[in-house]
A = this chain, B = another copy of it.
Amino acid sequence: MSISQPYLLFLGDVTDPLAAKTARGIHQWRPNSCVGQLRLTDETVSLGLDEMSLQQAQELGAKTLVIGTANAGGVIPKSWQKTLIAAAEMGYEIASGMHQRLSDITPLKTLQEEGQTRLHDVRHYDGTLEVGSGKKRSGKRLLTIGTDCSVGKMFTALAIEKALQQRDVDAQFKATGQTGILVQGSGISIDAVVADFISGAVEAVSPEFTDHEWDIIEGQGSLFNPSFAGVSMGLLHGAQPDAMVLCHEVGRQHIRHLPHAKLPSIEETIAANQQAARLTNPNAKVVGICLNTSSIDEEDARELCAQWSEEYQIPVTDPVRFSVDSIIDNLLAK
């Protein structure tokens, strides 16, 4: 999957600021890839970008119209179709993280068949894959892992990529989930591939390389999430990480959506991931912990990070509040 940049971010007629999370993430991490925003109504949420028409954005170089919003059913509203079809007719690519496929909209499908547009349904994967081999590949890899889903694995990976680049270390983010794919313009939604190909898909996302220094691979799920641990396991084996960064949300009471399922301890999460990762990389090691401390105040968060750094003998930080510098120091000192 390779999505042409820069983007025009499409916000539809969404009024819930949370529903524009994807668009906000893209703009946060790739501001230079966002030419502007397109809203259908005055009530639509705004990212504060330049407001523009399809025509204006295309004149400024926009190549892809990105649906940067989510909704409950994942269905593309009828009221958006006119704009999407107009964009496709103008030669825009269209990218979407919705459940419903763009190609389910007949005029879009036809325009793609005619070569007028390319449709990117990043939540799905239709390409051909090989099964993973676990064979050692050249290049260094860092994978973000977690105690659960939605604990900051994408954010952390992007923060580490940025911090490494700021120190002139050539690092590339590798996306395994829908928002990550839209940010990067490439990647595979690992949880959408056929089960046999999980590790093979990760091997395809981060193949052998010698032209840069690090691949920073976005993790998914958790070995301790009873719904999705298979995905996390295959991801771990396919990534064959040299380094792992553990992500955790302070104060989370149980596994997301599953009140009967306990969160694992930090110790067991580190141990289980290191043990499993060593199947394909005997040197795999957790080099830092990133906490989402938004549920406590900054002073308490600072203290907790210091305490845990002491306890686990690795850097512990909140990437939003305190940066990932301590983890980068540890990574580069290895």
- Chain A contact residues, CB within 8 Å of chain B: 131-136, 190-196, 198-200, 223-224, 226-235, 237, 258, 260-261, 272, 275-276, 279-280
A95, chain B: closest CB distance, angstroms = 20
List the B residue with the shortest CB-CB distance to A235.
B230
List the B residue with the shortest CB-CB distance to A130.
B227
Q: Which 5 A-B pairs have the closest CB atoms?
A: A134-B226, A230-B234, A233-B233, A198-B230, A191-B196
A125, chain B: closest CB distance, angstroms = 9
A228 to B233, CA, bound (A): 9
Most chain B beta-carbon contacts within 10 A, residue among A133, A224, A226: A226
- Chain B residues lying within 8 Å of A135, measured Cβ to Cβ, are 258, 260
A251, chain B: closest CB distance, angstroms = 22
- Chain B residues lying within 8 Å of A232, measured Cβ to Cβ, are 230, 233
- Chain B residues lying within 8 Å of A133, measured Cβ to Cβ, are 226-227, 258, 260
A100, chain B: closest CB distance, angstroms = 15
A170 to B232, CA, bound (A): 36
- Chain B residues lying within 8 Å of A275, measured Cβ to Cβ, are 272
